[in-house]
Amino acid sequence: MNPAPVPPLPRYLALAYTALVIYASLHPFSGWRDLGVSPLDFLDAGWPRWWTGFDLAVNAFVYLPLGYLLTLALSRKTGRWLPALLGALLAMLISFSLEAVQTWLPTRVPSNLDLACNSLGGVVGAFAAWRSGTQALVWLARWERRLVAPIPHAEFGLLLLGLWLLTQLSPETLLFGAGDFRQLLGLSSAIAYAAPSFFAFEVLVIACNTVAIGLIARTLLTDHASPRAVLLLFFLFALFVRAVSATVLVGPREAMAWLTPGAGLGLAAGATVLMLALFAPATWRVALAGLALMAGTVLVNLAPTNPYSVAALATWRQGHFLNFNGLTRLIASLWPFLALPYLMLLGRRL
Q: Give CA angle at 322 (320, 325), nearest 5°.
A: 125
Mean pLDDT for 112-117 is 88
Residue 265 carries which side chain, given as an amino acid letter?
Answer: L
Classify burial at 128, counting beta carbons within 10 Å of its beta carbon; exposed 0-12, middle 13-18, buried 19 or more: middle
How many CA atoms does the CB half-sphere of 56 hold within 13 Å? 11
Task: Give the span between the Cα atoms of 303 and 262, in whole angstroms.
Answer: 13
DSSP for 130-169, written as a single string: HHHHHHHHHHHHHHHHHHB-S-TTHHHHHHHHHHHHHHTT
> For 186-199, how does the pLDDT look when each residue is reduced to its tens digit (9 = 90+)?
666 666 666 778 88
Mean of the per-residue pLDDT values for the chain? 81
Identify the sign of the CA torsion 73, 75, 81, 86. negative
Identify the sign of the CA torsion 117, 120, 126, 127. negative
E strand residue ranges, the chain: none
Q: Which of 15-24, 119-128, 260-269 has the lowest mean pLDDT?
A: 15-24
More confident residue, 31 or 2: 31
Mean pLDDT for 89-115 is 87
If we measure between CA atoms, which residue out of 265, 252, 250 comes closest to residue 175? 265
Query: Is 316 within 8 Å of 205 (Cβ atoms)?
Result: no
If we measure between CA atoms, which residue out of 143, 134, 178, 189 comes closest to residue 306? 189
Per-residue pLDDT at 336: 92
Judged against a pLDDT cut of 70, whether residue 10 lies above it is answered with yes
H helices then E strands: how many in the chain?
Answer: 12, 0
What pLDDT band is residue 120 in, cutting at 50, 70 and 90? very high
Residue 229 carries which side chain, given as an amino acid letter?
Answer: A
The DSSP output letter for 254 is: G
Q: Which of 31-40, 124-133, 316-325 has the lowest mean pLDDT?
A: 316-325
> For 144-189, how does the pLDDT look when each residue is reduced to its tens digit (9 = 90+)?
677 777 777 787 888 899 889 888 877 777 889 888 887 667 666 6
Q: Which of 159-168, 222-231, 243-252 has the lowest mean pLDDT?
A: 243-252
The domain segmentation of the chain, as residue ranges, is 9-147, 154-349
Distances (CA, A) of 196 to 189, 193, 199, 304: 16, 9, 5, 11
**What SS3 state is found at 78?**
coil
More confident residue, 241 or 251: 241
Judged against a pLDDT cut of 50, whether residue 319 lies above it is answered with no
Query: Is 126 within 8 Å of 70 (Cβ atoms)?
Result: yes
> For 255-281, how does the pLDDT look when each residue is reduced to its tens digit (9 = 90+)?
787 888 999 999 999 999 999 999 999
Judged against a pLDDT cut of 70, whether residue 207 lies above it is answered with yes
